[in-house]
Chain A
């Protein structure tokens, strides 16, 4: 890469989370923060990590967006409250697909689907104790076939 372009490329990668402000993930993060009174954790160099990963492996993770909350106040909310907050934040265009809840509340997973023109998007939320991870990802045809053929195993792998 041209050396003069490198700083611009690095800046663009670091700015990636900001540039996706219009994405569903950003909207959901903001809504969850307002609804549950929690704050998400900034992931330093996430855009850079995605860029380096692509260069090293030659494989681009298709449209992966990630947000993490590490907040003790998460444990104040029941699985039902978290589920309701997530559903409200996502809106009606997202349909619930898989929900998995452990009875002791130690782990909860929600997976939602949305069609975006020809793409299929998946939104995965995982709560473990005081940590909430939100992932928005484009799903390929091959991946969707795997989900259809083995919902439980794929949900466990997430």
Chain B
């Protein structure tokens, strides 16, 4: 995880952590044979890891906007850029998506912060991908279902 979440973990009533490193992802890809999963399988093969931390709270309001802001503050430019705030199709959850541009100006990873009153989920997808790929992974591996509108690709170096 590129962000420190210890304070949230201390406040949450339950913390769930899903770790899929490259080895586990390659393994999981072998089992994604449903027609619905084919796009996700091709994507998963390229990724270095998917890391999910989900915090459940007993009551709404047990975590504050300041707690979320502390997470946001760790996703700073120039490494991280916030691309969009989206509204989840499921449960009206709010989500923010940040991307990391790698040395070749390609998107090298994404962080999703998905918040609802009693649950906060942080997802780090490590590896080359397009923001719209989140939709392909949504619902798999604990990644929340969110739809990211198409984003302009980062300009390649030397491009006018």
Contacts and interface: CB of A to CB of B under 8 A. Distances in A.
Whether both chains belong to one complex is answered with yes
Interface of A: 95-104, 113, 115, 120, 141, 144-145, 148-152, 155
Contacts of B52: 151
Contacts of B139: 149-150
B27 A151 contact: no
Task: Report the contact-size class of chain B (Cβ under 8 Å from the partner).
Answer: 20 to 34
Contacts of A155: 16
A103 B13 contact: yes
Contacts, number: 65
B94 interface: no
Contact of B19 (A99, A104, A115, A150): A99
Interface string B11-24: 11111111111011
Interface stretch (B31-39, B82-90, B96-104): B31-39
B32 A100 contact: no
8 contacts: A95-B21, A95-B23, A95-B24, A99-B16, A113-B27, A141-B33, A145-B33, A148-B37
B15 A103 contact: yes
